[in-house]
């Protein structure tokens, strides 16, 4: 009886575990990223005082606007400090193109057993600004993409460079289980 009472007192003294789950699907655009950021802020405001403040973002996207994704990842990472939350990202099935950058926003990055990540050369979907060439813009985006990956996994960044995966126009997939050296932190 005394052991049970000690255990119950221990359980009561633990902080409450609280995690918010956000689903992000479809095309990555300025609007969809702004909506994601607003949802993160809203969920952060719902946590109880002494809870584990984890926000898990489940991604399922074929990609989209790479430049907006770089900006959003920076803001989402800053939420860990400014909103006092932990951001976790998760992919169950597929994460392609700029989604592979958005995935790096999580301090914990989970993937399903069958998850796959798709990489290809950056593309330009709109007109080129005056004074810049298409080649310059694509090379800048490629370097920024490698840099974003390198922040969480230097081994994957080196592999992308060595294999030229961000120079190929066709999508090349890498399975989550082959990315457990840092890009993917947990498979479940």
Reply yes or no on whether the pLDDT at 85 is more than 70: yes
Reply yes or no on whether the pLDDT at 151 is more than 80: yes
What pLDDT is recorded for position 50?
A: 77
Strand, helix or coil for residue 30: helix
Q: At what angle do helices 134-150 and 154-163 cross, to 10 degrees?
A: 150
Q: By CB neighbour count within 10 A (0-12 exposed, 13-18 middle, 19+ buried), where does 33 fall?
A: buried
What pLDDT is recorded for position 138?
A: 86
98-146, pLDDT tens digit by residue? 999 999 999 999 999 999 999 999 987 665 566 777 788 889 899 999 9
**Residues 6 or more apart in contact with residue 12 via CB below 8 angstroms:** none
For the whole model, what pTM was predicted? 0.87
36-84, pLDDT tens digit by residue? 999 999 999 999 877 789 999 999 999 999 999 999 999 999 999 999 9
Are 64 and 28 a contacting pair, CB within 8 Å? Answer: yes
Are 172 and 146 a contacting pair, CB within 8 Å? Answer: no
């Amino acid at each position: 009886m005394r052991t049970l009472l000690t255990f119950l007192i221990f359980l009561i003294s633990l902080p409450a575990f609280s995690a918010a789950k956000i689903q992000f699907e479809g095309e990555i655009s300025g609007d969809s990223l702004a909506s994601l950021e607003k949802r993160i802020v809203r969920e952060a405001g719902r946590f109880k005082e002494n809870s584990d403040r984890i926000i898990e973002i489940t991604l399922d996207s074929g990609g989209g606007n790479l430049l907006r994704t770089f900006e959003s990842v920076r803001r989402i990472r800053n939420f860990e400090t400014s909103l006092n939350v932990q951001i976790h990202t998760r992919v169950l099935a597929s994460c392609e193109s700029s989604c592979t950058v958005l995935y790096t926003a999580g301090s914990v990055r989970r993937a399903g057993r069958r998850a796959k990540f798709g990489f290809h050369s950056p593309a330009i979907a709109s007109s080129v600004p005056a004074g810049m060439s298409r080649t310059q813009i694509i090379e800048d985006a490629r370097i920024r993409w490698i840099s974003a990956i390198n922040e969480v996994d230097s081994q994957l960044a080196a592999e992308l460079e060595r294999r030229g995966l961000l120079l190929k126009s066709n999508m090349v997939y890498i399975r989550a289980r082959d990315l457990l050296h840092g890009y993917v932190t947990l498979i479940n």
